[in-house]
A and B are shown apart, each in its own frame.
Chain A
Amino acid sequence: MKKFAVVAAMATALLGSTAVHAADVEVIHWWTSGGEQAAVSVFAREFDALGEDKWVDTAIAGGENARAATLQRILGGDAPGAAQFNPGRQYEELISGGMLLDLTPLAEKEGWADFIRPASISEACLVDGHWWCVPVNIHSWNWAWASMPAFEKAGVELPTSFDDFLTKAPKLKEAGVIPFAIGGESWQINGAFGVIQTAMLGLADREKILKDKDLELAKSKMADVFTKFREFKQFSDEGSANRNWNDTTNLVVTDQAAMQIMGDWARGEFGVAGEVAGTDYACLALPVEHPTVSTGGDIFLFPKQSDPAVEEAQLKMASMMVNPQVQALFNNAKGSMPIRDDVDMSLADDCMKKGLEIIKDPANIAVDAGRWLSNDTTGQMNDLVAQFWADDSMTVDAAVEQYVNILQTAE
C-alpha cells in the first residue's frame, strides 16, 4: 500500500501535475460468505471505477474480530481507510476522540438527511449535527420463517399471532414436527426474545422501557414477556443447545420444524435450497397483527488519515456508498433493504418486497435497541435472557428483578 502511494507520488511529480495523487483505501469488513462477498464486490468495483483510487480489501471474519482489529490498528497508528461497524454506540469514543473523518460537508452537499430513511438509521451516524459514518443497509430481525408442508402435515393454518402459535404448537408436536426451531446460542435466543418483547409490549412501551429506562413500566410489564417466552421452550427440540442459526433454519427448510424466528438473512438459506416463498415456506413479518421492521444493519466509518489524497478518496467512497444505483446493486446482492426509497428493488423477492412496504411507514419502525443501549448493557441483557431460557429453576420474578437492575445501571 505504501509502495503504491510512493509510485503514484512519483508519477505525479514526473508529470508535473499539482493535482492530488491517487490513493489506496484499505477497507476492513467481515463480509466473507458467498452472498456477502458478492455484495462487497459491488462496492469495490464501483469505487475502482470512479478513478485512480483503489479499494484494498481486508476481510476478517466475525464482527468481533474485525472490529477489534480496526480499533487496535487505530490505536497503533495504522488505521484503515474505512471500517465496517454495526449501528450502535460502540464507536462513540472514536467520535469524541476526534479519530474519525467528519463527513458533514459531503453529507450536506448531497443532502443525506433528506433521503436516508428511516430516521433511526441516519441517527446512528448523525451525532450532534455532524455525520460520522455512512449507513449502507437495513437488516430486520422481526421475521418468522415457517414451513408450509409442516403446518399442512399437522393440519393447522399458519399462525396469526404468538398466542395462536402456542395453541397450535401441540398439534404440530403430535404430528412429529418440531414446533419452534431455535438454536441455543445466546444471540439467537435474544433475537427471538426481542421480537416477542416487541410483540407483547408494542412499540411505544418498548421505547419507554429501553430508551427512557422507565423502571416502573419494566417492573409491571416484563413479567408477562418472560412468562410467555418460557412457554416457547417446551416446543423446542432436544438438540437446540449450541446449534448454529443456519442448521436451525435447515430444520425448517427440510420441514422437520415448523417455525423459526430469525432475521431477514435467513432467506438466503431457503434460496440456496431452491425453496419458493409462498409454496415451500412463508415469511411472516412480526408481529403478524401489526408487522414491523427493526433497524439493524451495517455502517462504514472512516478513520482520519494524514494523507490528503486518501482523505479525498475516503469522501468519494462515502458518496459512492449512498448512491442510488450502487444501493440497488449492493442490497440486491446482500439481501438487505436499502437505506433510501428511490432505489430500484424490482429484482427483490416477495419477502423483501413485503419488508420494503412495511418500512415506508415510520410507525412500523422498531428502532434497534443498540441505538439506546450500550453494548455493555445489551450484553448483560443477553446473558440474563440466555440464562433464563436454559435454566428452568430461575423464576420470572428473579429475571424481572435482574432486568430492571440492568436498566437501572445502564448509562
Chain B
Amino acid sequence: MGRYVIRRLLQMIPVFIGSTFLIFFMVYALGDPVAALFGDKAPDPATAARIRKDLYLDRPLWEQYLHYMGQIFQGDFGTAFNGQPVLDLMASAFPVTLRLTVVAIAIEVVVGITLGVVSGLRRGKAIDTTLLVLTLVVISVPTFVTGYVLQYVLGVKWGWIRPSVSPDAPWNELLLPGLVLALVSLAYVTRLSRTSIAENAKADYVRTAVAKGLPRRRVVSRHLLRNSLIPVVTFIGTDIGALMGGAIVTERIFNIHGVGYQLYQGILRNNSPTVVGFVTILVIVFLVANLLVDLLYAVLDPRIRYA
C-alpha cells in the first residue's frame, strides 16, 4: 500500500503541469484583461501597453506560461488587479472555504447517510416518499432561493442568526451557509445510500449476520452500512471540489470571502494569476481527496486490495 500511495503522489506532477497549463490557456482564451481595467472609460493606449508589458501579456502564450511557472517556483503567485498578492488572497480565502466545506460535508455525511439508511430500510413507506419529495424540492429550487429564503426567515423575520457571515467566519456562523451549500449534495447522498442499503439488505452476509442473532443495530452499522458506503464515499470525494470551488452562490448570499468569490472575480476580470493559483490548489485537493477515497475502499471492503 505504501508503494501505491507513493505512485499516486508521483502522479500529481503531470496532473499539476497539465492542469496549470489548461487553466492558463483557458484564461488566455477569455481575452485581454487590460481594457476592462479602465471602467466605462476607454483605456489609454500607452498605459494599457505598459500594463500588458509588465504582466507579460504581450508575449506568446508559451512564454507567458513559462514565466508564470518560473515565478511559482520562486514562491511568487503573482498579484490580482487590485494589487493584492495572490498568495495573500489564498491565505485568507482557503481557510474560510475549508471550514465551510467541512461543515457542508459533515451535514452531508451525518444527515444524508442517516436519512438514506432510514428510507432504504423503509422503502415505499411514508418516510421514504417524504424524503423523495424533499429531494425533488431541493433539486428544482435554485440554491439562490433556498439560501435567500432561509437567510431572510432566520436572519430578518425571526432574528435568530446574523444574515451575513463576519470576516473571520467563525464555525457557528457557517452552519446555515454550510447547510445551504450541502442541500443539493444531500439529495445525492440520501438517494445513493438509500439505494445501496436497500440493495445490500438482501445480501447474504446480512442474512448471515441476522441468522447469527446479532443485534439489529450492529447488523446495520457494521455489516450493512459499511458495505453500502462505497458509492457514497466516492460521491463525497467528487463533491469536495464542487463544494470548495463552486460555492460562488452560497458565498455571495452570506457574504463569505472565500475561494468561490475570489475565483469568480479572477475569471470575470481575466486575471490568470488568481485563477491558475486557486485552481491549482483545488486540483491538488482533488488528488488528495480521491486518493483518500481509494484508500477508504480497502477499509470499507476488505476484499479490495491495492498493489
A binds B: no
Spell out B's residues near A (CB within 8 Å): none
